Amino acid sequence: MDLLYKCPNMDNIEKRQDVVYKVIDEKLLGLDVYYSNNTDFLNIPTVVVVHGSSSIEDIKDLKLFQSWGKVLAASGFNTVTFNWRPEQNPEDIKDLICFLLNNSNELKLNTNNINIFAFSSGVEIGVKNVMEVNTGFINKIITYYGKIDSSIIEMINTSNLPKFFIAMGALDDVYTSDCNDNFIKEARDLGCEVEYILHSKGEHGFEVFNEGEETNRIIEQTIKFIKK
């Protein structure tokens, strides 16, 4: 299972692997950082890739998430992938964010411009938990084929509004394409910028299963959204 989208230089990326951000019951939870070729890290957006629920223990090591790390780094972003337990212990992602904030210089990450990129159930569980600890460092939130917990509307600081990019698949059999309609309306009413895109043939995991121009275009629009 791999990302269908490829880009130039994605296989020439510097990577720091298996940094431990949390130890619980003798279990180590780790992260990887994929670095852009721009060494001025304080002026580079940081992207945190949030996977959904899975029985796979080291999901960050899947080819899919390695490819996302490479593509995003080659596109100009320092990118973090990590293992967490969204169902068993959703607090993991809060601990990850705190670790990034406390070790930003050592990891060479800009933690004043963090962009959350969540997938599937990682959207509902991950975004909610990140927003609970957000003090203004979250710049953009990108979600693919997942439902956003409507309670985060109450967590949005109107003086520092995050921007949202929401991509859904018309043929998704896990989350219906209209599941975020109420959230989108409420977020826009609050003043948030929200971009919504529907993959007309998209299944759940369209970047893996739906090869073609439409999938590539959504990924390219995602990259442009993070850059702007």
Beta bridge partner(s), residue 198 = 168
The pLDDT score that the predictor gives to residue 158 is: 84
**Using CA atoms, how far apart are residues 64 and 45, in angstroms rounded to an integer?**
21
* Residue 201 located in a structural domain: yes
Domain that residue 63 falls in = 14-227
pLDDT surpasses 90 at 37: yes
The pLDDT score that the predictor gives to residue 57 is: 83
User: How many domains, in total, are found in the chain?
Assistant: 1
Question: Average pLDDT over the chain, rounded to whole?
Answer: 96
pLDDT digits (tens, 9 = 90+) for 83-104: 999 999 999 999 999 999 999 9
**Using CA atoms, how far apart are residues 45 and 51, in angstroms rounded to an integer?**
19
Is the full-model pTM beyond 0.95?
Answer: yes
* Closest C-alpha to 148, from 136, 135, 161, 131: 131
9: confidence class by pLDDT, cuts 50, 70, 90: very high
Instruction: Check which CATH number belongs to the domain holding 93 and give it.
Output: 3.40.50.1820
pLDDT surpasses 90 at 149: yes
* Residue 125 located in a structural domain: yes
| Three-class secondary structure of residue 200 per DSSP | coil
Residues 6+ apart with CB under 8 A from 11: 70
* Residue 1 located in a structural domain: no
| Three-class secondary structure of residue 171 per DSSP | coil
* Closest C-alpha to 5, from 61, 75, 77: 75
